[in-house]
Amino acid sequence: MVRIALVAAPFAVVLGCATLAQPTPVDAAWAAARWPDASEDELRRGRALYVKRCAGCHAVRLPERYPSSTWEQHVDEMATRAELPAAERELMLRYLLTMSRHGRLAEVALANP
């Protein structure tokens, strides 16, 4: 059973990363309204850091599944534990906050058909 878990774990990480949304120009425009120096490339780097730094220890979570306040708290807690440099923390957080708004947009759309 342990052997199966060890073999399956990398596949779960890859599958989770495959479903993790890539930022679009619309996402970059939304981010730039909040952070004037934000760009699509910066959001992509934030996504890559999120996968690289977080997936090594646990499954990555989809940003749209949690509100921005949850991401801010979680990243702050984990940044200390993972010794995440401030610049990497900021890139990762910008990606997560930008992409988490998709969950709120879906909720609004469902509530207002």
Residue 13 binned pLDDT confidence (cut-offs 50, 70, 90)? very low
- pLDDT at residue 18, rounded to an integer: 65
Q: Which residues contact 95 (CB under 8 A, 6 or more apart)?
A: 23, 43, 45, 46, 47, 49, 50, 63
Residues in the chain: 113
Residue range of the domain that includes 23: 2-111
Cα dihedral sign, 14-19-24-29: negative
Phi, psi of 43, rounded to the nearest 5 degrees: -65, -40
The residue among 34 and 108 whose pLDDT is bigger is 34
Residue 1 binned pLDDT confidence (cut-offs 50, 70, 90)? low
pLDDT tens readout for residues 23-38: 999 999 999 999 999 9
Cβ atoms of 40 and 28 closer than 8 Å: yes
- pLDDT at residue 97, rounded to an integer: 95
The residue among 44 and 15 whose pLDDT is bigger is 44
pLDDT tens readout for residues 44-96: 999 999 999 998 888 999 999 988 889 999 999 999 988 999 999 999 999 99
Model-wide pTM > 0.85: no
Domain count, the chain: 1
- pLDDT at residue 15, rounded to an integer: 42
